[in-house]
């Protein structure tokens, strides 16, 4: 019997203490309920209990049960549903997705026993009455898995959205998601010129305005390209006009090494209960496999952005996938999950194939732990073939051909690695400081990895852990959700990690041996040397600011993200005495196949605010007013960008439609175009209470990569640059955070006196 997922949301006022208690006699302690944390009593949206059930024959009809809310001391109506499902599953009657709606208007309210507690038999009797089915009072429950999370009932969806349950829970909104729009030329021209004002002199700006006006004039080249782009966007075969162009240009044709220029990392919070690395690896792997199960079955709940469902397509590239080096462009390879029920474990540069399902049953944490211990005991240092994946993509393409030509066996080993569900790296290291951990998860030693895999979980000898992601087909939000889910299951005891019997017939981890010829060894030696050189050119610093976090920022009546963007602008101004082009990632996943758009953070308002912050003659009220004006402008831009109306992707798309040999318009040859899209600061935030670090590289040699996490009482910055002084930037970020607190604290409303 496979597990299935219940998604439950209640329609009523719910306190933080509210939860569902399932009596042991009814469900045999096999129901796991995950609460959504709520800081105060809040009204929840009307909700549906969505049941993803497996095995057997489909029901002939969809059954809906309406049950009224219960007083707190009475048994919750969820138990009725669990018993009903138990019966159906035991009898193999279900292979469908159904809905059970909770509502105070119940046609069966008068049938409910007016007693404080109910017996198992009475549950079944009432369900029989509701459904017109003959359910035995002693129907036996089965093993169930339930997750309590926010979900939207179908009737509350915005206009234009529809559910197609035939596609499964994960993709049920996919076909009704809107297409990425094409902004008007005038919109983009106005927004583009506005973004240039803090960057250019009056003379430079006038020159650029002339080029822009020439481009957007009626009948001009811009209008012609716009018509082509609109036609492409309107083509029914095109789900997203920029999707393939962007994946190709930004990632697959990009020839610099994946590490450090494309990969990113999360540093996990310490698990004090599992400092033993084999136990830590087992717990993480078991939690990841639970998430994988939902992805593979299509039962993972969609995500929402401002109450709108967003694109879930990129989840198909999460498990059993790999980037493959090729000329002139790499390509993603998807492998069958059913034919590749194994993970790859790397220890001392040696690869091991470990089955995560044996005889149709997933390995439990104790069994996974045993497999990891076997690897710790047997692994021996070997030639680091994984280092080849750290090379320039053209160099790796050639080296891959050398590796495949060396022996037919190498092809099978490559396919086992690339087709694996995910990779677990058991590092011979013990990082302690946040900087040491960041280095370990961002790039490691360049050997005990396979950098083309989208998911790599790193476990160190001291039990610390982290994650490394490959970026080409998936942005950070899906892997953030995965890692956050893993942390939630482990730290909130939602995964059974107790010692249980281990099957005696588990296959041993299978060592994977490459045939290493002198030619292959030459490629490996070069890759190791190149990796050390490239990483050695970079500086990394971590600013773990503990002075405050989003709790105080919200009291300042600011968006936490916009606040931190202004903080970064102020820190850069402190360091350089000027501001430069800044990138922040804006998600466009509310559109089909949406990924990201550029938010140009630097504005006239933010630049003016940074200047007055350095001017002691300007009073605090003026500084506060300019600060809020800058915040407002930033929110307007990032909202437009998330709505598909940014500058950069539109101009990129128009340029892509130029015919070979066609003259490039002046707007693209203008120096302002290249300069304004040179990201001296590349920034983005992903926050989790289960992470203590997150980051990536800078995108130009003269710039910084600044990743940040905004938690309730802290802000964590990861700063990377190529010899620009990441430590100094860390200092200025701290100083800017303190300056802003001192500026805004007097604006807080005084607490009201108690009468």
Annotated active-site positions, please? 471
Nearest 10 degrees: Cα torsion 121, 125, 128, 133 = 60
Rounded to whole angstroms, the Cα distance separating 742 from 552 reads 12
CA distance 283 to 274: 8
**Residue 264 backbone dihedrals phi, psi, to 5 degrees:** -140, 170
Cβ neighbours, 10 Å, residue 148: 18
First-to-last C-alpha distance (Å) of the chain: 61
Alpha-carbon distances, residue 710 vs 267, 489, 648, 661 (angstroms): 15, 22, 26, 48
| DSSP calls for 503-555 | -TTPPPPEEE-----HHHHHHHHHHHHHHHHHHHT-EEEEEEE-S--HHHHHH
State the angle between helix axes of 604-613 and 560-576 in degrees (0 to 180), rounded to the nearest 10: 60
- Distance from C-alpha of 259 to C-alpha of 10, rounded to nearest angstrom: 45
- Burial label for 33, CB within 10 Å (0-12, 13-18, 19+), is middle
Q: Are 284 and 463 in contact (CB under 8 A)?
A: no
Among 98, 253, 170, residue whose Cα is nearest residue 478: 170
User: 449 and 456 in contact (C-beta within 8 Å)?
Assistant: yes
Helix and strand element counts for the chain (H, E)? 23, 26
CB 47 within 8 A of CB 151: yes
Angle between helices 185-196 and 221-234 in degrees, nearest 10: 120
683 - beta bridge partners?
A: 584, 706
Backbone CA torsion sign across 578, 610, 575, 616: positive
For residue 76, report the phi and psi dihedrals to the nearest 5 degrees.
-70, 150
Q: Rounded to whole angstroms, how far apart are CA atoms 410 and 416?
A: 10
Structure tokens at 181: 């729009």
Q: From CA 469, how far away is CA 637, in angstroms rounded?
A: 28
CB atoms within 10 A of CB 500: 10
Cis amide bond preceding 260, omega within 30? yes
Spatial separation of the C-alpha atoms in residues 326 and 248, rounded to whole Å: 12
Q: Do β-strands 42-43 and 13-14 pair in parallel, antiparallel, or remain unpaired? A: antiparallel
* CA gap 45, 151 in Å, rounded: 8
């Amino acid at each position: 019997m496979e597990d299935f997922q219940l998604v439950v949301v209640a329609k009523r006022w719910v306190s933080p203490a509210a939860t569902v208690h399932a009596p042991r006699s009814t469900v045999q302690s096999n129901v796991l309920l995950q609460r959504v944390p709520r800081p105060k009593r809040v009204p929840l949206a009307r909700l549906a209990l969505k049941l993803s059930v497996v095995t057997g024959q489909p029901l002939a009809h969809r059954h809906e049960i309406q049950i009224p809310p219960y007083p707190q001391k009475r048994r919750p109506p969820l138990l009725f549903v669990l018993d009903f499902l138990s019966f159906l599953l035991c009898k193999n009657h279900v292979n469908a997705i159904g809905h059970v709606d909770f509502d105070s208007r119940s046609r069966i309210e008068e049938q409910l026993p007016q007693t404080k507690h109910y017996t198992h038999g009475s549950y079944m009797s009432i369900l029989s009455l509701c459904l017109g089915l003959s359910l035995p009072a002693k129907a036996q429950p089965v093993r169930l898995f339930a997750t309590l999370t926010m979900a939207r009932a179908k009737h509350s969806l915005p206009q234009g959205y529809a559910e197609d349950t035939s596609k499964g829970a994960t993709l049920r909104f996919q076909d009704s998601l809107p297409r990425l729009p094409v902004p008007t030329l005038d919109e983009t021209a106005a927004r583009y010129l506005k973004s240039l004002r803090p960057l250019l002199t009056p003379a430079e700006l006038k020159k650029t305005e002339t080029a822009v006006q020439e481009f957007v004039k009626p009948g001009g080249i811009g209008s012609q390209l716009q018509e082509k782009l609109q036609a492409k966007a309107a083509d029914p075969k095109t789900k997203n006009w920029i999707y393939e162009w962007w994946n190709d240009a930004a990632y697959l044709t990009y020839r610099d090494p994946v590490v450090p220029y494309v990969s990113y990392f999360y540093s996990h919070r310490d698990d004090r209960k599992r400092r033993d690395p084999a136990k830590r690896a087992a717990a993480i792997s078991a939690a990841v496999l639970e998430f994988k199960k939902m992805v593979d079955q299509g039962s993972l709940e969609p995500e929402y952005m401002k109450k709108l469902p967003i694109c879930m397509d990129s989840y198909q590239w999460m498990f059993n996938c790999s980037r493959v080096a090729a000329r002139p462009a790499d390509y993603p390879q998807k492998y069958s999950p059913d034919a590749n029920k194994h993970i790859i474990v790397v220890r001392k540069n040696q690869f091991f194939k470990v089955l995560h399902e044996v005889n149709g049953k997933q390995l439990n944490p104790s069994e996974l732990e045993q497999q990891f211990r076997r690897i710790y005991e047997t692994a021996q240092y070997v030639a680091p073939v994984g280092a080849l994946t750290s090379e320039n993509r053209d160099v790796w393409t050639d080296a891959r051909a050398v590796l495949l030509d060396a022996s037919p066996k190498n092809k099978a080993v490559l396919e086992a690695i690339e087709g694996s569900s995910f990779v677990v790296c058991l590092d011979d290291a013990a990082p302690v400081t946040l900087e040491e951990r960041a280095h370990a998860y961002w790039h490691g030693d360049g050997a005990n990895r396979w950098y083309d895999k989208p998911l790599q979980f790193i476990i160190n000898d001291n039990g610390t852990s982290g994650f490394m992601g490959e970026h080409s087909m998936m942005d950070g939000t899906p892997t953030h959700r995965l890692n956050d889910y893993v942390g939630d299951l482990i730290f909130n005891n939602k995964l059974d990690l107790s010692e249980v019997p281990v099957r005696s017939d588990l296959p041993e981890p299978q060592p994977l041996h490459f045939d290493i010829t002198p030619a292959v060894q030459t490629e490996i030696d070069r890759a190791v040397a190149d990796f050390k050189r490239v990483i050695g050119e970079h500086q990394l610093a971590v600013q773990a600011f503990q002075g405050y976090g989003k709790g105080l920022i919200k009291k300042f009546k600011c968006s936490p993200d916009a606040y931190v963007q202004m903080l970064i602008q102020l820190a850069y101004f402190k360091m350089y005495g000027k501001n430069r082009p800044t990138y922040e990632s804006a998600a466009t996943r509310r559109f089909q196949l949406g990924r990201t758009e550029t938010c140009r953070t630097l504005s006239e308002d933010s630049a003016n605010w940074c200047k007055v912050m350095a001017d002691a003659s300007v009073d605090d009220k003026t500084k506060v007013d300019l600060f809020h004006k800058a915040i407002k402008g930033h929110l307007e831009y990032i909202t437009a960008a998330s709505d598909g109306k940014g500058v950069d992707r539109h101009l990129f798309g128009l340029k892509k439609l130029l015919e070979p040999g066609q003259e490039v318009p002046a707007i693209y040859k203008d120096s302002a175009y290249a300069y304004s899209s040179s990201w001296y600061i590349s920034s983005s935030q992903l926050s989790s209470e289960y992470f203590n670090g997150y980051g990536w590289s800078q995108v130009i040699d003269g710039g910084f990569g600044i990743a940040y996490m905004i938690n309730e009482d802290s802000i964590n910055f990861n700063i990377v640059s190529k010899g620009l002084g990441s430590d100094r930037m860390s200092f200025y970020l701290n100083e800017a955070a303190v300056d802003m607190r001192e500026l805004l604290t007097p604006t807080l409303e005084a607490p009201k006196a108690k009468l």
